[in-house]
Amino acid sequence: MAQAEYYRQFSLVEIQQTFYNLPRVQTALRWRQAAGPGFEFTVKAWQLITHEPTSPTYRRLKTPIPEPQKALYGSFRPTDDVFEAWSRTVSVARALEARVVVFQCPVRFTSTKQHTENLRVFFRTADRAGFVMAWEPRGDWPPALIRDLCQELDLVHVADPLKQAPQSEGIRYFRLHGLTGYRYLHTDEDLRAIATQCISGAPTYVLFNNLFMAEDALRFRRLLGP
């Protein structure tokens, strides 16, 4: 779907590019201007914050990390390098006038004592700059621990409601990856089930992240009505 057509059809987009390589601030400003008033951007945090340099996603990084510095990145490590990556993410998110920043974690980022401590230090220390911080744990995290950390650190739990109930209160942020993988086409029953999770009284963000994302999103919008 062309960018202009997307802006006409929808009122929200999640920027994936910021995860792989941060665009220039001037580029983000152009995106903001082209979208027009009333359109909302959300932003994925740069992979240097969340993912280890051994992740295959680093192959798309324009400027490779020198070998001696690789131990300083990823897994929310409390290093100057990770906080610099956050600062640069903030600059782009501000240019887009984004409200929500999504921290998508790899499956390998599990609920170890070290990972949990890294999360606590990062979210207690980082300048939140007025953003809603949305955390998507994808490794082995017990629901009770997710709930406690979201409450303690003021995080929104990013979840696929067809697979897991959100563990945070207030704003809901759903990322639909497909029940059987990226090639999954959501059924009408799936979409109705998602709609029941869109509670009143707080915004609910619904983002499809599958091969048929545009089709699913249009069908879901029609299901919701005006």
Residue 81 inside a domain? The answer is yes
- Please report whether residue 141 resides in a domain: yes
Q: Which domain holds residue 152?
A: 3-178
Share of the chain above pLDDT 70, in %: 100
Q: Does 209 fall in a domain?
A: no
- Model confidence pLDDT, tens digit, residues 78-106: 999 999 999 999 999 999 999 999 999 99
pLDDT at 174: 97
How far is C-alpha 189 from the chain's CA centre? 25
CA distance 186 to 215: 9
Flag whether 194 is in a domain. Answer: no
Residue 2 has pLDDT above 90, yes or no: no
Joined together, the tokens standing for residue 14 give 């999640």
* pTM (two decimals): 0.96
Task: Give me 46's structure tokens.
Answer: 């740069």
Specify whether the CB–CB gap between 199 and 173 falls below 8 A.
no
Say whether pLDDT at 226 is over 80.
Answer: no
**Over pLDDT 90: what percentage of the chain?**
92
- The residue among 6, 12, 74 whose CA lies nearest residue 43 is 12
Residue 221 lies in a domain: no
Q: Total structural domains in the chain? A: 1
Phi, psi of 204 (to 5 degrees): -120, 120
Flag whether 87 is in a domain.
Answer: yes
Confidence of residue 201 (pLDDT cuts 50, 70, 90): confident
Question: What average pLDDT does this structure show over 126-152?
Answer: 96
- Position 45 in a domain: yes
Helix and strand counts by DSSP (H, E) for the chain? 9, 7
Provide the pLDDT for residue 200: 75
**Residues in contact with 6: Cβ distance below 8 Å, sequence separation at least 6, in sequence order:** 13
Q: Is 78 exposed, middle or buried (0-12, 13-18, 19+ CB in 10 A)?
A: middle
Task: Answer yes or no: is 218 within a domain.
Answer: no
Per-residue model confidence (pLDDT) at position 224: 87
Cα–Cα distance measured from residue 41 to residue 6, given in angstroms and rounded to the nearest whole number = 12
Q: Which CATH number do you get for residue 72?
A: 3.20.20.410
Hey, CA dihedral for 58, 64, 70, 76, is it positive or negative? Answer: negative
SS3 at position 176: strand
